[in-house]
């Protein structure tokens, strides 16, 4: 009798997982808004860089920004709809279907982990630029490609191993206390490698970057020197020029983003470091709730766990929506480049429509002429 009662408690949680219709509507609206912002922002970043790929797209910082936007866009398009479906069905992460749960968890680790690792490798690249500002662009491109490959391999390995552990535990009958969260070992491994490791590396590199830039600014301010040939100015210029969120002057309507030929302001490199620290703060604030809550729910019942997990998921998807706004749109040169890209795309769209309309008219006229000739 006691064993039956314990099994019932384990299989059927005490809280009601079904959300009220108003709550479902609110969560769905918030998720759709985040999806729209993320898609528009990341598509704009990708379009702006792709349109000028031959000029600046291969530069290390811009290449990493491009790959970050790719990871964020895929994360939004694949994972966020699954969360919306789960909210509509009042089933967190489709917990009644184990294969779907495992597939959702796999893509969540893969794409979210890739996005996190891209932020991590961007921080490493920024620190490398500050530490060795005179490194050749060829070396920088190789470093950026290797870091990008490592980010994807790291996230893929984490996802595969986490799902393998989950499958072994599920086959042996050792599952989680609640069906709507993965087993504890899978959570620990995925959070440690896909969230904890990038967070630790970003914290160390961003803090060291901030200290280096601050010391450099003090040295430049003490010397009161703006000569472009000094080592401090060259290092500061390298931080600004090579940063993914900082682009050079924009030639109107041809999307050529060149390196700036004017002396950067004293606080330009400090602004870059502050931007990176803002990203780190967003990362920590958005991932902490779901990590703590999912681990807590693994061991004990939590009242209204469904709503809390949904809110935590909404917070996580704030990251891909904020990355384009903070990392690219915050820069005036990139905003100008994005506006130029939009103007160019707007000018091309009517011309293509006109060509298609003319082609359709000519095809119709040709068809009528052929019919008359046959008649």
- The pTM for the full model equals 0.75
List pLDDT tens digits, range 80-100: 888 888 777 765 555 555 677
Q: How many C-alpha atoms does 343 have within 13 Å on its Cβ side?
A: 10
What does the alpha-carbon distance between residue 134 and residue 231 come to, in Å, rounded to a whole number?
Answer: 9
pLDDT in tens, the chain (375 residues): 444 443 333 333 333 444 457 778 888 899 899 999 999 999 999 988 888 777 776 788 888 989 999 999 999 999 988 888 877 776 555 555 567 778 888 999 999 999 999 999 988 888 888 778 778 888 888 999 999 999 999 999 999 999 999 888 877 766 555 656 788 888 899 999 999 999 999 999 888 888 887 777 776 665 554 444 544 444 444 333 444 444 443 343 333 343 444 444 445 567 767 778 888 889 999 999 999 888 888 877 777 777 788 888 889 999 999 988 887 777 677 777 788 888 888 887 665 555 554 555 555 555 555 555 454
SS3 90: coil
Q: Where are the domains of the chain?
A: 16-339
> C-alpha angle with apex 199: 139 to 247, nearest 5 degrees?
45
DSSP category for residue 254: T
Exposure string of 316-328, with b = 16+ CB inside 10 Å and e = fewer, is bbbbbbbbbebbb
What does the alpha-carbon distance between residue 120 and residue 317 come to, in Å, rounded to a whole number?
Answer: 18
How many angstroms separate the Cα of 372 from the Cα of each of 184, 361, 365, 369? 76, 17, 11, 5
What does the alpha-carbon distance between residue 275 and residue 116 come to, in Å, rounded to a whole number?
Answer: 16
List phi, psi (to 5°) of 292.
Answer: -65, -45
**pLDDT value, residue 319:** 93
> How many residues in total does the chain contain?
375
Q: What number of H helices and E strands is found in the chain?
A: 13, 2
The answer to whether 80 touches 50, Cβ cutoff 8 Å, is no
What does the alpha-carbon distance between residue 62 and residue 53 come to, in Å, rounded to a whole number?
Answer: 9
DSSP category for residue 300: S
> C-alpha angle with apex 117: 112 to 120, nearest 5 degrees?
135
Residues 6+ apart with CB under 8 A from 220: 232, 233, 236, 266
The answer to whether 236 touches 264, Cβ cutoff 8 Å, is yes
**pLDDT value, residue 256:** 35
The answer to whether 243 touches 126, Cβ cutoff 8 Å, is yes
Q: Give the ranges where the chain is alpha helix by DSSP (H).
A: 2-11, 21-51, 60-88, 98-107, 113-131, 137-171, 184-191, 197-223, 231-242, 268-299, 305-316, 318-327, 332-374
The answer to whether 158 touches 108, Cβ cutoff 8 Å, is no
SS3 256: strand
CATH for 16-339, among 1.10.1760.20, 1.20.1070.10, 1.10.3730.10, 1.10.10.10? 1.20.1070.10
Q: How many C-alpha atoms does 106 have within 13 Å on its Cβ side?
A: 15
173: left (phi over 0), alpha (psi -120 to 50) or beta: left
**pLDDT value, residue 120:** 92
List pLDDT tens digits, range 224-279: 544 445 444 444 443 334 444 444 433 433 333 434 444 444 455 677 677 788 88
> C-alpha angle with apex 245: 239 to 250, nearest 5 degrees?
100
DSSP category for residue 228: T
SS3 243: coil
**pLDDT value, residue 252:** 38
What does the alpha-carbon distance between residue 42 and residue 135 come to, in Å, rounded to a whole number?
Answer: 29
Beta strands in 108-208 (DSSP E): none
């Amino acid at each position: 009798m006691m064993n039956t009662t314990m099994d019932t408690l384990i299989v059927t949680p005490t809280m009601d997982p079904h959300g009220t219709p108003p709550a479902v509507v609110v969560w769905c609206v918030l998720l759709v808004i985040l999806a729209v912002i993320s898609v528009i922002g990341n598509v704009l970043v990708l379009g702006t860089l792709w349109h000028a790929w031959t000029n600046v797209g291969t530069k290390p910082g811009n290449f990493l920004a491009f790959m970050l936007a790719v990871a964020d866009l895929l994360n939004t398009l694949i994972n966020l709809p699954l969360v919306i479906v789960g909210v509509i069905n009042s089933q967190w992460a489709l917990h009644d279907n184990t294969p779907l749960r495992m597939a959702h968890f796999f893509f969540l680790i893969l794409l979210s982990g890739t996005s996190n690792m891209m932020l991590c490798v961007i921080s490493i690249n920024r620190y490398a630029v500050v530490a060795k500002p005179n490194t050749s662009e060829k070396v920088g491109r190789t470093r950026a490609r290797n870091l990008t490959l490592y980010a994807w391999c790291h996230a893929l390995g984490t996802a595969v191993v986490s799902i393998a552990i989950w499958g072994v535990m599920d086959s042996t009958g050792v599952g989680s206390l609640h069906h709507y969260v993965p087993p504890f070992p899978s959570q620990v491994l995925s959070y440690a490698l896909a969230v904890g490791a990038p967070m630790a590396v970003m914290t160390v590199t961003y803090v060291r970057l901030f200290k280096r830039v601050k010391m450099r600014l003090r040295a430049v301010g003490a010397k009161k020197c703006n000569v472009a040939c000094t080592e401090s100015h060259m290092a500061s210029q390298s931080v600004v020029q090579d940063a993914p969120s900082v682009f050079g002057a924009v030639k109107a309507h041809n999307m050529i983003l060149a390196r700036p030929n004017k002396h950067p302001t004293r606080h330009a490199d400090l602004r870059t470091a502050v931007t990176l620290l803002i990203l780190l703060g967003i990362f920590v604030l958005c991932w902490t709730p779901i990590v703590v809550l999912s681990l807590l729910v693994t061991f004990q019942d939590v009242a209204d766990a469904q709503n809390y997990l949904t809110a935590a998921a909404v917070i996580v998807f704030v990251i891909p929506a904020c990355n384009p706004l903070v990392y690219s749109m915050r820069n005036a040169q990139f905003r100008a480049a994005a506006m130029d890209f939009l103007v160019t795309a707007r000018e091309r769209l009517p011309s293509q429509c006109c060509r298609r309309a003319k082609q359709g008219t000519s095809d119709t006229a040709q068809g009528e002429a052929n019919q008359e000739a046959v008649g």
